[in-house]
Structure 1
């Protein structure tokens, strides 16, 4: 049964679910460093393979099998989910490669840019309009990206590729008439055969699969399915119990954790131009969030008692 806006206030708070999702996503680089011996391409294959049984189990527990079957029977929905599957698969490959090769700051920056990229996508493709404060935020973020274009092109490419692929994924998923978990399940099904092919091919290239060589790796690789599915399920629950503007504010928790990990745990060097870019992005994000909260407060004040 779907939850309407009017009934959100009757539900338990979604804040713990949102914090849980973004905390897991923020700490994901720690897990990826633990499996750094697995080539990025092969890891994405294993991630898809181990995500499917987790999704199917949760679908069964939530009794959403009918939604999965209905989506599979719709050519339009299936086409949209194939597109979103390719986008999220590419995003995962970029992210894993970036973390494993030491580009933690670039990964963090990509997800700071992502909410602003979503605003532009909404303007260009969904007919949404930006107000003055949102345009200011976008302009400041563009200035930060321009700094990287001037002095750190390698970091810029990774950050923009992550932001564009994830923003594109969100846009396509918004257009697809299917809920989060059934959609993820179908995306994983669509990518399962390529994932198996990747694992087999990588095993031949590297003289054997990474699975079965080390007890530690054998324990860590199956966790990829849980780490993929659980935060998405938490996120889907939070969206039903929270205002989207508040959820947008919490979104900045994940890249902030990634940034701090890069600085204090992985000891990635931070150049002045990179720091200046982050300051501009943080400023843009603050203006963006300020605008969201201001509009939410104004709407609340104007609502009938």
Structure 2
């Protein structure tokens, strides 16, 4: 369990600190950063699969028809999520990204209710209502829907829903998802390079190397998360997941001087209350199920 907590902390710390990494390339277009992220993620993950003798697993994943469409769907959704996140970070919207990832667990629950037939308790519906109120407060404050937060939450939520259709290990799944968009990313980078529109050509060798490490920055947290998920209960993982958006929120306000007004505070408090209420309700439900299960076995 101690190892699981360490892996979980590493994963969510890395995800929370990602704005620091992407801010390094503030002069580079979001499209080019995404292109490099896709290419170098594939290179790094393919190398790991090769070293681990798992290359055949990737070929096998594409040979099964049931995996192809979900893989394509996951690839498009995660690419959209990455693009919006990178764009938001480099346009001083880190606070909005943190809001998106606070909302994400509740969006995932709502998708489970709508598409997987899962049921919620009254308290959990109340949590959903609180979160909705939080988003509504921001909407009226902005005069428009906080699209960055909702787009990040929805794209990652649907991504998780689609991934339930596949039963692949994380590295094989990520490799497959990058394979789908790899040709598009490679052609895009080639075109902007040949037409003189590249914003990475002026980067120094050090920054070019750092950009190549985006593959490592993408894959390693996923590996750590997979290790944590195997060792820890869902409840523990659920608590740890709030670490990433909290770090991003602190970075946005304290380091990048993004505005955090009274309206932001009210909205975030409503969403934090919703997350706390939902998590405690889920924990109580799991403990009750465990107690019931133990009783049945003893009887």
TM range (shorter): over 0.9
Q: Secondary structure at the match of 1:36?
A: coil
Match for residue 187 of structure 1? 177
- Answering whether residue 112 of structure 2 is matched by residue 122 of structure 1, we say yes
Q: TM-score, normalised by structure 1?
A: 0.91
**For residue 93 of structure 2, what is the aligned residue in structure 1?**
103
SS at 2:97 equivalent: helix
Match of 2:239 in 1: 249
Aligned residue number for residue 73 of structure 2: 83
Could you give the per-residue CA deviations for residues 170-214 of structure 1, whole angstroms, max 9, x where no partner exists? Answer: 111111222221010011111111001221233356533504631
What is residue 275 of structure 2 aligned with on the other side? 285
Q: Tell me the equivalent position of 1:197.
A: 187
Alpha-carbon distance, 1:65 to partner: 2.5
Partners of 1:266 and 1:209 in 2: CA distance: 23
Q: CA deviation at 1:287?
A: 0.8
Select 1:46's aligned residue among 32, 36, 53: 36
Superposition RMSD in Å: 1.8
User: In 2, are the aligned partners of 1:104 and 1:259 still within 8 Å (CA)?
Assistant: yes
Task: Report if the CA contact (8 A) 1:143-1:280 is conserved.
Answer: yes
Which structure 2 residues correspond to residues 1-305 of structure 1 after superposition, within 5 A?
Answer: 13-153=3-143, 156-203=146-193, 207-211=197-201, 213-304=203-294
Report the alpha carbon displacement of residue 281 of structure 1 after superposing the two structures with TM: 0.7
The answer (yes or no) to whether the contact 1:200–1:209 under 8 Å persists in 2 is no
Residues 56 and 153 of structure 1, relative CA distance in 2, 3 Å threshold? farther
Q: Secondary structure at the match of 2:67?
A: helix
Q: Which runs of 5+ in 2 are unaligned?
A: none
Q: Give the 3-state SS of the residue equivalent to 2:146 in structure 1.
A: helix
1:233-292, CA deviations, whole angstroms, 9 ceiling, x for partnerless residues?
111111111112221111111001000111111111112212211111111111111112
Give the total of aligned pairs: 295
Q: 1:68 to 1:36 in 2, by over 3 A?
A: same
| CA positional deviation for 1:12 | 6.7
Q: Tell me by how many angstroms 1:67 deviates.
A: 2.4
Q: How many Å apart are 1:155 and its aligned residue?
A: 6.7
Distance 2:2 2:258 in 1: 40
Distance 2:197 2:146 in 1: 34
Residues 1:176 and 1:274: Cα distance change in structure 2 (over 3 Å) = same
Query: Where does structure 1 differ by over 4 angstroms across 4 or more consecutive aligned residues?
Result: none
CA distance in 2, matches of 1:255, 1:261: 10
Distance 1:154 1:195, change over 3 A: farther
